[in-house]
Amino acid sequence: MLAGIVFDFDGLIVDTEWPEYRSIAEHFEHHGLEFPPERWVHVIGSSWDVDWIGQLESALDRELDRVALTESRRLRARALRDPLIVLDGIAALIETAVEAGVPLAVASSSPRSWVEPHLEDLGLRHHFPVVRCRDDVVEAKPSPELYLAACAGLGIDPGRSVAIEDSANGVTAANAAGMVSVAIPNRLTRFLDLSHAALVVESAAALDLVRLRTLVAGG
């Protein structure tokens, strides 16, 4: 029996990760420098704290206006993600699960101030009775704490539940929580090894409740 489904947010429900990466990479490119995806992807799925300005200063061997660069990057990231679009197959999977009475939650390493407004804007918030974010736990992913908190909030057994992720850190967290992990790599996380997931698919369109129930049953 499928007890519930817990979704990651960034890079899984919406592609917020690419704008974050590109808004930084463009600042390096402006100075004739490279900031390849491989330098960024390993922080995805965690509570990232990357001193990209420090890296740029080191490469240029001079100090930069950190306030101005931070604001410039923030505005550029916002422009790149406007409008936010729910990724392929996610909305259909959510609707199918809701119609079948399967409990849903979100477990995200991002702060609630980021996740909640986006879910509201996308018209999805009401589908998730439980949303657990970085603010709710001591440790973000790859710790299992977020997934355990989400399952506890729904009152479901993690061992009979599915976590849907896009990152290696997220899959590690779900596995450590005892959940069945499904990975859907995006244009950034395709650079990561996601082989520790129970299942890897190209998009949520490849998923349905029958397939998820089979996974939980050990099939």
In 3-state terms, what secondary structure has residue 6? strand
| Helix, strand, coil percentages in the chain from 3-state DSSP, rounded to 5 | 50, 10, 40
Number of C-beta neighbours around residue 68 at 10 A? 9
pLDDT of residue 203: 95
For 183-204, what is the mean pLDDT? 93
How does DSSP assign 37-81, residue by residue? GGGTGGGTTS-----HHHHHHHHHTS---HHHHHHHHHHHHHHHT
State both tokens at 59. 């490469």
CA R_g for the chain: 18
**What phi and psi values does residue 132 have, to the nearest 5 degrees?**
-115, 130
How does DSSP assign 177-188, residue by residue? TTPEEEE---TT
How does DSSP assign 124-138, residue by residue? -GGG-SEEE-GGGSS
How far is Cα 195 from Cα 50, in angstroms, rounded to an integer? 25
The residues, ordered by sequence, that sit 6+ positions from 138 with a Cβ below 8 Å of its Cβ are 145
Enumerate the active-site residues.
8, 10
Q: Work out the percent of the chain whose per-residue pLDDT is above 90.
A: 80
In this predicted model, what pLDDT tens digit does every residue of 55-70 receive, in sequence order? Answer: 999 999 999 999 999 9
pLDDT of residue 47: 60
Does position 162 have pLDDT exceeding 90, yes or no? yes
In this predicted model, what pLDDT tens digit does every residue of 108-124 receive, in sequence order? Answer: 999 999 999 999 999 99
State both tokens at 64. 């930069």
Least confident of 5-9, 48-52, 87-91: 48-52
In this predicted model, what pLDDT tens digit does every residue of 19-52 receive, in sequence order? Answer: 888 999 999 999 999 988 887 777 676 666 678 8
State both tokens at 30. 């402006």
Residue 101 is which amino acid?
Answer: G
Arithmetic mean of pLDDT over the chain: 93
DSSP 8-state code for residue 87: P
Element (H, E) at 165: strand 161-165
Strand partners for 174: none
How far is Cα 5 from Cα 181, in angstroms, rounded to an integer? 10
Domains and CATH numbers, the chain: 4-15+84-216 (3.40.50.1000), 17-80 (no CATH)
Does position 191 have pLDDT exceeding 90, yes or no? no
